[in-house]
Structure 1
Amino acid sequence: MSINRGLVFSLGLAICVILMGAFTRLEDAGLGCPDWPGCYGFVTVPTQAEHVQAAEAAFPERPVEAYKGWLEMIHRYIASGLGLTILLLMVHSLRQKKLGHKTQSKLATTLFALVCFQGALGAWTVTMKLLPQVVMAHLLGGFTVFSLLFLWWLRRQMSESSLQEPALKALAPLASLALVLLVGQIMLGGWTSANYAATACTELPMCEGNWRERLNFAEAFSLPSGEHDSYEFGVMDYSARMTVHISHRVGAVVVSLVLLLLGWRMLRACQNPLVRQAAWLMLALLVVQFGLGVSNIVWQLPLAVAVAHNGGAALLLLSLVLINYLSWRKA
């Protein structure tokens, strides 16, 4: 398998990991297997009566739920496949470098180190009983792996091409700001999900009742110290969850305005077809993502919409990686 095909395959696996991780989390299956890397001490989810009995004797606080266990294990299987593929890509890249071919060996090595750290975060997510900062870091790590794989693919696809678009160079600082703000918004989304705050507010545009008087930023963004037996279903009180939720909504508006400004300026100033396509792609994904976010509120977090919202964030991130790559790269 060539590196280019391997990267495309890895990108497909990475988005599957992101979507499956969201599905697992939204189905409250993050502790479907209370140990790691197996499930109740088995390679697969125990289903035979004697195995279930042994599993529940070893983990009396966590009765076997086969459906949740399989969700968690399928997520681990796909993530393991992604890690193995990235390992093979790194080895192939290093071999190509020894033969004198131009490769992105540093990026490959960084990716492999990151995916190993992702594995550790996955283990800590279970062993630390869904500690919110670990869950959020695991989510952000998955998005980072996805973005770096895409960046590697871009470098290989465009290494011999040139881009003469001075107007886009002038927009590079705005593109970087948009990327930073979007990453911050993804982190806010991860914090909202990790603390089960997605349904804390059920009205638009902000929240029901006297929400201004109940804002509690100190508790909303404090890091739990691990004194709870489990963080499943959250440990924050309502005011803190509401504050997290509102912060995510405000962040969505701010990010949307900046991305709209970036897209408008790109379409107004740039004539290069690839640049204009990137701008339209970003704007289209922004509209879809904003609509999915509103739908989550109106219909109280339907599973399909919530999973799509995670996938939309990942694709929107890639569109900004593309725009920043085109803005900052040297011809």
Structure 2
Amino acid sequence: MLISLDRADAEGFARALDYFGDLTCRTVVLWNDAEEIQELVGEIEAGIGRLAPRGKGRAVWMALGYLIAEGRARAVAFHDADVLNYSRSLLANLVTPVLHPLLPFDFAKAYYARFSNQLHGRVTRLLFRPLLQALGDVVGRHPYLSYLAAFRYPLSGELCFTTDLARGVRIPGDWGLEIGLLFEILRHRSPRRICQVDVADRFDHKHQELSPNDASAGLHRMAVDIVKHLLRTFSAAGVVLNEGAFKSMRVAYQRYAEDAVADSFAVATFNGLAFDRHAEEEAVETFSRALAEGCEQFVADPLGTPPLPNWERVLSALPNLGSRLVQSVQKLGGILEPKGSSRA
């Protein structure tokens, strides 16, 4: 297991080592704020160019770099660290399609039901799916649109892919990680080698605030980033989007989002779940503003923040950087062997 530890001081790193030290599996704590690690990042920026700002995407990218450099893993699995009802079967279900010797898959994406006493997954239910429907009205049938629509939970953070594939993909640096990565995977693999897997009967994690009046926080910010990444990946797939298309898309989204609220009410009622119509409508209003904001930002800067370079390029430009990254983690004491193991 690898923990990509971000924005932690020496005391926080020590606490992480103590916390994860009792695990029964080999564990690596990659302390991204360590001076030795930051020096390596500086070399990458000097040799290749400035990296995306720190955040979830860059933490994932650093973790990939370590695992590729160490060379022990055949596949890599990611999942969010705030899962409230985690079980070992979740991980087993996630990695089996990629690791099973008789299955042809290089990438697996998790899906699951999101509910407690009420429905969750507002961004997927009330933004992403209605937006795909609206884009379908505007651009018509398109292979990339069909690809995205096929995923039952396209925004899930739980996925698994081979380290060979990981070497070549570029990781988005912001909250558009999930969408940007789906596009990258499709660039490198046939859909026949991509699958999705049901990993849990029910899935719950820490819920973010909607932040309706602050586009820089919570689900509002996430929605803006998702819109921008979706538009950028559609443009990269050859879809031409002009001002008229944006206007039509926003109007169509509003209609499909209202339908999604009605569908959610029906699902909640049938299953005996609570349903707050005002909160659902407020989410749609917030996501509608996020759609407008995302369109404006896309028009102003179609390329946006470049994705992080793939590790194939990094290790080509700086051949010994991978071994030095592994050595730095070892020197910091970030490699924790299982209790009772004789290995150093």
Q: Which has the higher contact order (CA 8 A, sep 6+)?
A: 2
Q: Which has the higher helix share?
A: 1
TM-score (norm 1): 0.31
Q: Which has the higher strand share?
A: 2
